[in-house]
Structure 1
Amino acid sequence: MKVQPRQRAAGPQPLAHLCGLLRHLLAALSLLCIALAGCTVGPDFVPPDLAANAGYSRDKLTTTARADIDAGGGPQRLIDGMDIPGQWWTLFRSPALNALVEEALHANPDVSAAQAALRQANERVFADQASLFPSVNGNLSKTREKVSGATTGAASSPILTVSSASLSVSYAPDVFGGTRRQIESSTAQAEYERFQLEATYLTLTSNVVNTAVSLASVRDQIGATEQIIRLQSDQLDLLNAQRRLGAIADTDVLTQQTALAQTRATLPPLQKQLAQTRNQLMAYLGRFPNQDRDERFDLASLHLPQELPVSLPSAIVGQRPDVRSAQAQLHEASANIGVAVANQLPQFSITGSLGSTVASGTRLFSAGSGVWSLAGSIAQPIFDAGALEHRKRAAVAAYDQSAAVYRGTVLTAFQDVANALRALEADAEALNQQVAAERSAQASLDLVQAQFRLGAVAYINLLTAQQTYQNTVLARVKAQAARYSDTTALFQALGGGWWNRSDVDPATAGKPDRFGLPSWQEIMPTHKKPAPGDTTRFN
């Protein structure tokens, strides 16, 4: 159904006529809108409930084992319902680590990209909200035209000049809520980007901490290897002295030289790993490899947190950024169903214009030059070969897909927490055994060395004791580092405490600008190349 527009030359009071018609039309539309005020088609989103029996493990872990070593050997108590500090990395009590994390949060490109993505999503919400308001356009034109006298019957060909100025208004009432569902969808998309930002922060902070732990572990492994090299070198000197006295054969010296060379050969891979790990840390910090300031970490400089939080299962879905992102995507898919349903229903629109049109020699807006028009229309899709119906079904299928992804994300979240708790338990026990093994191997090596000097044991016994001690030292260092890394993994699995800090740049939120126009810099841009992340030219 379409209401035909009315248009005529306005008299002395065209605005009064237009206002009268608008009052009648708006009164009728108001009654219609009041009748349909609660009509927003499509499903109302309700976050899925968590299963009542959801948990992390069958057996509850309360305290881990203790190892008889200072760095990372203490027991850890797990406290149900304990909140997570926003700056959880400070629990490692390393000022150097704290400084690196803060630097990464300000300089890492991934954070800047996530902030920009959130700003973009928020601006799209404001753009969609503008659909709820009328749009007003101004038009100004002047036309000169030479008309053939043959068509008008005149003896000459006159030149006509027509000037026109008008203001046009268009409005599409959101009768069935399609526009509101679209705004709901874009708002959910902004919520998704909000938690993608939190996921970026959580991943970055965890990576920086883990990289620092890796640096400490590799540095300690290098230190242990160098100590073993010194021990084997001293033993080689002793063997050379015994060979000169004829007490041993050349084969023992050659075997020790081989063992020493093999141990020295393990140093270059460790040094390569150290360099590559440092390069990775530079990337997290937004630095180039040559900007390394030689920040040093060892396991003794990192404190192992003694009390660890274990969030309640009912809280984990609200804490994990990936779960919240999946929920936002599910909300967006739900709103898109409403948009698809609204597209199948009648679409309403109102347009009107008021202006003045004059010929040459007459001023605009003079008496008798006014023109106006007013039109209302309703459009109902009748036949589209099923396109709109299939788009609605596609939206329903997308919702089902998002629901399945959400359930999978929740399962992964519980799996991550369960894995971290089990790793903490196993790592503590492993370190306890590795410390005992190292001390036993050291005592055995000291005894065999003493016996070898006295000629009580063969050289093969000494070589075996050296290799055993070397392996236990390196295994102990790796077991120490694992406790720090898996503690970090627990904080990451529980969401990282983002709710106790403010990660979003206030400028990212933006604000509605209903009368925004291009700035002078956008109309007449300079040729200066902006720095990455610099938006001052476009504000």
Structure 2
Amino acid sequence: MTTRSRPRLAAAALAALAFLGGCASLAPDYQRPAAPVPAQLGTAPADASATTPVADIGWQSFFADERLQRLIALALDNNRDLRIAALNIERARGLYGVQAADALPSVGVAGGANAQRIPGDLNTSGQSVVSRQYSATLGFSAYELDLFGRVRSLRESAQQQVFATEEARRATHVSLVSQVAASWLTLAADLARQQLAQATLKSQSDTLRLTERRFELGVSSDLDVQRARTTVETARADVARFAGQVQADLQALQLLLGTPVPPELMPGTEATALAFTPLPAGLSSEVLLQRPDVAQAERDLLAANATIGAARAAFFPRISLTASIGTASSSLSGLFGSGSGIWSFVPQLALPIFDQGRNRANLQVAQADRDIRVAAYERSIQAAFREVADALAQRQSLAEQLAAQRALEDAAARAQFLSQARFERGVDDFLSVLDAQRSLYAAQQGRLTTALAQQVNAVTLYKALGGGWAATTRTADAAPAAAQR
């Protein structure tokens, strides 16, 4: 065998081993755990008008109010939690790049010089000698041949972590959309309550002045005056209470937006009657798999499953290669001269024999992590099922409550009108008027509270079914990510 043929044979052997290294993996075959929930979400038939999957209903389509749309867009641009989630993706991608680099050899160039003086008493000639050596090499060091898939499994685990962080960002995005909508609607309801309390305070103040005048004329008693003053102070306390709630709502919304709320985007009282796109009532539990938090839990499970492959591979031999080729000479001018070529090829084999049970313990930890991820995945589905089921159960109840509250408000308004008329004719006393006014005020406040609960329920159901990721339909940049997942 000639000297020139040896490097070629070494390179061919390296290529063959590298090819074999990519053909093995000891990770368990992944099977998605069965969902530990009933197969059906809700008992009512699906709404015929809701034919589009909820996850494909863009938030601009679901939230039709232009002010709310602009607020959501503002939050998506400035919210710090969403910004942190996006940066976590960049970090995970960087870690994956570090892990993926181990699958290929790192090639480097090295150059060096060595000068050494040997004194005469250590030299056979009796004269001091200065020796010099120059070298320039190209090669790689300690490249592991992944015969049993250890590096490959670690790379797969890192890649699944990247996908998990992407799903975490998606979950943050979906949650942010629903939180902004719910906060804006809550602000609208509290503004309406405040306005109602202010209107009631004005009306009750007028009644108090009238009652005081009647008392001065001897028509009403002091008891009637004190009862009227009680309703005025109650309304004044409500005005102050709702003013504080409005300020708290503004601060909460501002935190979500990451910037002050523009005055032109403040809600009006008409927002309390805002309706949304109809959502289906009866669905298969498979729609829960579209939720980003469930998808994130499955990505974590896949990462743990791949880590088991790396732990298993640690029981088998590890082969690493160090090789270089270059030139060397005793003089710098002869570094690239004829006959100065050098090469080295250093394969190494490491086989664990007795490691105090370290590899077995690492495998036990990896398997326990996988089992923990299975339980976390199943729990995420159970939590998602409960969230959707609760929202579906409350939806019909809230619709009936709101209808009842509206009927109660109409009846209370009619009773207040009749009570005022009977009092003015001297048929009833002033107490019946005050009772009718308090009943009407309570009915109006109850109607606003129930209307808000119905709106928040719709927003919660939209988010629970995975809606709120796309702006209108699936965005162009979301489609490749979904296909990659």
Same fold (TM over 0.5): yes
Pair 1:20 & 2:5 matched: no
Matched with 1:502 is: 475
Q: Which amino acid aligns with 2:275?
A: L
Equivalent in the alignment of 1:49:
34
Q: 1:129 to 1:28 in 2, by over 3 A?
A: closer
Matched, 1:188 2:160: yes
Aligned length: 477
Q: How do 1:61-210 residues align onto structure 2 when only pairs under 5 Å count?
A: 79=50, 82-153=53-124, 155-170=126-141, 171-210=143-182
SS of 1:308's equivalent in the other structure is coil
Measured against aligned partners, the alpha-carbon deviations of 1:23-65 in whole angstroms (never above 9, x if no partner) come to 56347637xx55x7653112022222336942224x32667xx
CA deviation profile, 1:137-189 (whole Å, cap 9, x unmatched): 21111233333332224545444332221112243221111121112111111
Whichever residue aligns with residue 376 of structure 1, its letter is P
Match of 1:258 in 2: 230
Distance change >3 Å, CA 28–CA 222, structure 1 → 2:
closer
Q: Is the 8 A contact 1:61 1:78 kept in 2?
A: no
| Structure number having the greater helix percentage | 2
Picking from 464, 469, 472, the partner of 2:435 is 464
Partner of residue 248, structure 2: 276
1:380 Cα offset (Å): 0.8
Judged with a 3 Å threshold, the aligned counterparts in structure 2 of structure 1 residues 246 and 52 are, in CA distance, closer, same or farther, namely: closer
Report the CA distance shift for 1:154/1:213 in structure 2 as closer, same or farther (over 3 A).
same
Query: What is the aligned counterpart of 1:298 among 250, 256, 268?
Result: 268
Per-residue CA deviation, residues 199-251 of structure 1 (Å, 9 max, x unaligned), is 01101100111011101101111111112112211211220221121112223
CA distance in structure 2 between the partners assigned to 1:420 and 1:107 by the alignment: 29
- Matched residues in 1 for 2:114 and 2:479: separation? 50
**Where has structure 1 moved over 6 Å in runs of 4 or more?**
505-509
Secondary structure of the residue aligned to 1:266 is helix
Matching residue within 457, 478, 485 for 2:456: 485
Q: Specify the alignment match of 2:317 in structure 1.
A: 346
Q: Which is worse superposed, 305-314 or 95-104? A: 305-314
What amino acid sits opposite 1:20 in the alignment? R
Q: In the alignment, which of 177, 192, 197 is matched to residue 220 of structure 1?
A: 192
User: CA offsets, 1:382-412, max 9 Å, x none?
Assistant: 1110001011011111111110111111111
SS at match of 1:235: helix
The corresponding residue for 1:519 is none
In 1, the alpha carbon distance for the partners of 2:203 and 2:145 equals 86
Cα deviations across residues 246-266 of structure 1 (Å, max 9, x unaligned)? 112223213312320221111
Residue equivalent to 1:521: none
1:114 corresponds to which letter in structure 2?
A: A
- Structure 2, unaligned stretches of length 5 or more? none
Deviations 1:318-368 (A, max 9, x none): 311111001001111100100100111111112211122222464212233
Q: Distance in 2 between matches of 1:263 and 1:24?
A: 90
> What one-letter code is carried by the residue in structure 2 that aligns with 1:236?
L
Distance, in Å, in 1 between the alignment partners of 2:53 and 2:310 is 42
Shift of the 233–47 alpha-carbon distance from structure 1 to 2, 3 Å rule, reads: same
Q: Percent identity?
A: 28
1:375 to 346, 351, 363: 346
Match of 1:309 in 2: 280
Alpha carbons 1:79, 1:310 under 8 Å: kept: no
For residues 377-526 of structure 1, the aligned pairs below 5 Å read 377-496=348-467, 498=469, 500-502=473-475
Match of 1:56, as an amino acid?
Answer: L
Q: Tell me the C-alpha RMSD between the 2 structures.
A: 2.7
CA distance in structure 2 between the aligned counterparts of 1:261 and 1:28, rounded to whole angstroms:
90
1:293-339 Cα shifts (integer Å, max 9, x gaps): 35221352463136213573243233111110010011111001001
Query: Which residue identity lines up with residue 404 of structure 1 in the other structure?
Result: A
Indicate how the Cα distance of structure 1 residues 306 and 191 shifts in structure 2: closer, same or farther if over 3 A, else same.
closer
Query: Residues 82 and 310 of structure 1 are in contact (CA less than 8 Å); yes or no, is this contact kept in structure 2?
Result: no
Structure 1: segments with no counterpart, 5+ residues: 1-12, 64-76, 510-539
Whether contact under 8 Å (2:99, 2:154) holds in the other structure is yes
For residues 330 and 479 of structure 2, the distance between their equivalents in structure 1, rounded to whole angstroms, comes to 54
Task: Give the Cα–Cα distance (whole angstroms) in 2 for the partners of residues 250 and 428 of structure 1.
Answer: 44
Question: Judging changes above 3 Å, is the alpha-carbon distance between structure 1 residues 383 and 335 closer, same or farther for their aligned structure 2 residues?
Answer: same
- The one-letter code sitting in structure 1 at the alignment partner of 2:120 is G
- Give the 3 Å change call, closer, same or farther, for CA 329–24 of structure 1 in structure 2: closer
Choose 121-130 or 475-484, whichever is displaced more.
Answer: 121-130
In the aligned structure 1, how far is the partner of 2:366 from the partner of 2:426? 84
Give the conservation status (yes or no) of the 8 Å contact 2:322–2:346. yes
Tell me the residue number matched to 1:39: 24
Question: How high is the TM-score relative to the length of structure 1?
Answer: 0.82
Aligned partner letter, 2:65? S
Alpha carbons 1:81, 1:311 under 8 Å: kept: no
Corresponding position of 1:3: none
Distance 1:311 1:398, change over 3 A: farther
Cα distance between partner residues in 2 of 1:27 and 1:347: 17
* Distance verdict in 2 for CA 1:40–1:311, change over 3 Å: farther
Quote the offset at 1:415 in angstroms: 0.8
TM-score (normalised: structure 2): 0.90
Q: Distance in 1 between matches of 2:481 and 2:55?
A: 25
Secondary structure of the structure 1 residue equivalent to 2:40? coil
